[in-house]
Amino acid sequence: MLTLTEEEKQILDGRQGAVRQKALELIVRYGEVIAAERLCRVTWADLFCGAHGYLQVAETRDFDPLFSKMSLCSDETVSLAQMDQGCVCYSGVEADCSEVPAEMLMDADKQAHNRDLLNRFVDAGVILSGNCIPYLTGFIPAMGEHFVSCESSAVLFMNSLWGACGNGDGIEASFCAAVCGRTPAAGMHLPQNRFGTHQVEIAAAPRSVHDWDLLGYSIGSRLPAHSVPVIVGDFARPNTIQLKAFFAALACAAGTEMAHFVGMTPEAPTRAAAFGGRPASGNLRVGPREMVATLEALNPHPGQPIDYVTLGCPHYHIDELRKIAHFLAGRRFHAHTRVDIWTTGPMKYMADRAGYTATIEAAGGRVLTGSCPSTRGYPDGVRTVAYDSVKQRHSAEQETDAVKFYGSRQVCLASALSGRWEGGV
Amino acid sequence: MNALNTQRPRIIRGRGALGGIAEGPAMISRQTITGWGGIDIRTGIVVEPGHPLEGLSIKESVLILDGSKGSNGWSIFFHAAQVSGCGPAALVFPKLDSRTAVTAAVLNVPTVTDLSADIFALVKPGDRLRVDGRAGTIERIG
């Protein structure tokens, strides 16, 4: 039985306006479905703003009917003025890259529509973040604070490394939470649901971002639904950039919202604390054999010329751009291979100042911000693509008919230089 | 009705998560669908390569899946299909997670969860079902 506070009852009655009322109606319905007993206060919301492809089904371009139907799930059109005043709102990944207009795939009409929609969100108080790594760009819910995010990897990252509380939810529920400042107190918002359920032993020695990326997918594709893994093993402590890849891979393969690294996760000072004193309901062991099998399954094709290399999923950290620039200095990509490197505005600003962008552009590549092939689509005529991210490789299965290759960043860069896939199968 | 059907219980019970009564053919898979990009939002047809339901439409079906996977953009693809007139009639999830719960709330169709029996062993694709989202029952009617 869901109990509402007096203020929540006021919102639901419409006394704080029609938009907050519609938003809370969806949140209350969500709370009833998931059998929540109360709502919790949301103070950070990472959204998914702009003219994303799925909005085409609404057959309207106007902000208010579009937002009402697709985000508030309301057939009645209401007008958005402000997001909840107690909630910091980010706009999330964009429908196309932020470099307007020369690098965009969208036609001029769609670009204008996208800008119109984004401007309304800016007017409502949303920060144009333009990235899938909010946790690296100032979106910092602290331990015990409740957030929503449309990025599965960000939810897993912030639950697991910071002890902040968030669920996967969905795009509509995130918008509604940001408008009314509430979400059901369920799932990862409740301490008792955050304990580990399965022990996962890493029987390997992961050292690189690629190792952790591959491990995340190898674990995720073997993990039961709804589990909270506790990662154990005799491995070197991963850094935040390696964990960015690991969490993205794990979330995309298994839908995992929370994982414990003993000694790193705030709620896991010990293995026993991670499990909340309860026994593990399952054990998994992942080592080199599983990792090789995963790599082989993702690379079913023999090597061939590479048309397109897309790097930066999740969006690259400045240190990743630095490493690429350092490697590339003086080298040049193959004339027939297009190279896009994805990051976010603040990282590109730093890369511009340090000269990394110029080095990458001198090699024939591009540093793009805000988007990725999953949200903007692929350039025309691309028949073969190389990825350094298992998440991007995984998503591409439904997004392009091109022949796909997956390997480390080094392998992808080497392939971009030679124009042929340089990885093993 | 063959011998197998007569041996299967006609009613499966669970928790009614979202009220209303709806009927439709079972679209059932232990392997969940990737929401983001896994459904054609204009037709409701499952387009995830290699998925057991690939090529079939969720339109007016009783959709029975074991959880969600992939992007947090899970509900929006089912929602977009519904806006196109191709949404499911009812939803059944053996156990809810945040993404499937949001999908039920967004679609606002009869939903049953916390099932008392293994529905994947009891319901076959295409079985005609009646879902009562208040009583929490799934009844095989043909």
Are residues A254 and A316 both part of a single domain?
no
Q: Is the peptide bond before A238 cis (omega within 30 degrees of 0)?
A: no
The whole domain housing B77 covers 3-140
Number of domains in chain A: 3
Find the angle CA(A110)-CA(A116)-CA(A122) to the nearest 5 degrees. 135
pLDDT grade, residue B92 (50/70/90)?
A: very high
Q: Which amino acid is at A17?
A: G
| Shortest Cα distance, chain A CAs vs residue B2, angstroms | 34
Task: Give the residue on A whose Cα is nearest the Cα of B111.
Answer: A33
Are residues A127 and A216 both part of a single domain?
no
Yes or no, beta carbons of B17 and A397 under 8 Å apart = no
User: Has residue A39 been placed in a domain?
Assistant: yes
Rounded distance, CA A73 to CA A258, Å?
28
User: Has residue A423 been placed in a domain?
Assistant: no
Pairing of strands A338-343, A366-369: parallel
Task: Calculate mean pLDDT across residues B34-59.
Answer: 92
Yes or no, beta carbons of B71 and A252 under 8 Å apart = yes
Which of A280, A296, A312 terminates a domain? The answer is A296
Residue B2 has pLDDT above 70, yes or no: no
Model pLDDT, residue A109: 95
Yes or no, beta carbons of A171 and B73 under 8 Å apart = yes
Residues of chain B contacting A252 with CB distance shorter than 8 Å: 69-71
A170 at interface of B, judged by CB pairs closer than 8 A: yes
User: Has residue A424 been placed in a domain?
Assistant: no
The whole domain housing A208 covers 195-296
Question: Scanning the structure block, which residue is given the tokens 């057939």?
Answer: A75
Yes or no, beta carbons of B67 and A255 under 8 Å apart = yes
Residue B97 has pLDDT above 90, yes or no: yes
Task: For residue A129, give every residue at least 6 positions away whose Cβ sits within 8 Å of its Cβ, in sequence order, or none.
Answer: A46, A90, A91, A92, A137, A139, A344
Rounded distance, CA A213 to CA A320, Å?
14
Q: Is B57 a catalytic residue?
A: no
- The partner residue sitting opposite B76, judged by closest CB among A32, A171, A252, is A171
Model pLDDT, residue A425: 58
Task: Give the residue on B whose Cα is nearest the Cα of A1.
Answer: B17
B124 at interface of A, judged by CB pairs closer than 8 A: no
Are residues A319 and A251 both part of a single domain?
no
Phi (first) and psi of residue A290, to 5 degrees: -65, -40
Which residue among the candidates B29, B61, B68, B71 is catalytic per the annotation? B71
A403 at interface of B, judged by CB pairs closer than 8 A: no
Are residues A249 and A314 both part of a single domain?
no
User: Has residue A1 been placed in a domain?
Assistant: no
B120 at interface of A, judged by CB pairs closer than 8 A: no
Task: Calculate mean pLDDT across residues B100-121.
Answer: 97
pLDDT < 50 positions in chain A: none
DSSP per residue, A206-241? --SHHHHHHHHHHHHTTSPTT--EEEESS-PPP-HH
Are residues A187 and A76 both part of a single domain?
yes
Asked if residues A142 and A125 have their Cβ atoms less than 8 Å apart, the reply is no
User: Has residue A224 been placed in a domain?
Assistant: yes
Yes or no, beta carbons of A172 and B36 under 8 Å apart = no
Three-class SS of residue B83?
A: helix
Which of A138, A164, A191 terminates a domain? The answer is A191
- The partner residue sitting opposite B48, judged by closest CB among A48, A171, A398, is A398
Model pLDDT, residue B1: 44
Better-predicted residue by pLDDT, B49 or A353: A353
- The partner residue sitting opposite A255, judged by closest CB among B15, B69, B108, is B69
Structure tokens at B54: 């690939």
pLDDT grade, residue B32 (50/70/90)?
A: confident
Nearest by Cα to B102 from A169, A118, A376:
A169
Number of domains in chain B: 1
| Shortest Cα distance, chain B CAs vs residue A34, angstroms | 6
Rounded distance, CA A232 to CA A286, Å?
11
Asked if residues B34 and B70 have their Cβ atoms less than 8 Å apart, the reply is yes
- The partner residue sitting opposite B108, judged by closest CB among A29, A254, A394, is A29
Yes or no, beta carbons of B70 and A252 under 8 Å apart = yes
For residue A278, how many other CB atoms are within 10 A of its CB? 10
Phi (first) and psi of residue A219, to 5 degrees: -70, -50
Rounded distance, CA B83 to CA B101, Å?
18
Answer yes or no: pTM beyond 0.95: yes
Sign of the Cα torsion B82, A227, A175, A131 reads negative
Which of A250, A272, A296 terminates a domain? The answer is A296
Host H or E run for residue A45: strand A44-46
For an interface test with A, which of B98, B99, B100, B114 has the most A Cβ atoms less than 10 Å from its Cβ? Answer: B98
Model pLDDT, residue A424: 75
What angle in degrees, to the nearest 10, is found between the helix axes of A209-220 and A288-298? Answer: 90
- What CATH number did the domain enclosing B74 receive? 3.50.30.10
Are residues A32 and A167 both part of a single domain?
yes
Per-residue model confidence as pLDDT tens digits over A255-303? 999 999 999 999 999 999 999 999 999 999 999 999 999 999 999 998 8
B34 at interface of A, judged by CB pairs closer than 8 A: yes
Are residues A70 and A108 both part of a single domain?
yes
Are residues A275 and A227 both part of a single domain?
yes
- The partner residue sitting opposite B83, judged by closest CB among A48, A69, A254, is A69
B85 at interface of A, judged by CB pairs closer than 8 A: no
Yes or no, beta carbons of B84 and A57 under 8 Å apart = yes
Model pLDDT, residue A258: 98
Are residues A59 and A120 both part of a single domain?
yes
Per-residue model confidence as pLDDT tens digits over A123-146? 999 999 999 999 999 999 999 999
- What CATH number did the domain enclosing A282 receive? 3.40.1060
| Shortest Cα distance, chain A CAs vs residue B55, angstroms | 13
Asked if residues B33 and B9 have their Cβ atoms less than 8 Å apart, the reply is no
Task: Give the residue on B whose Cα is nearest the Cα of A156.
Answer: B72
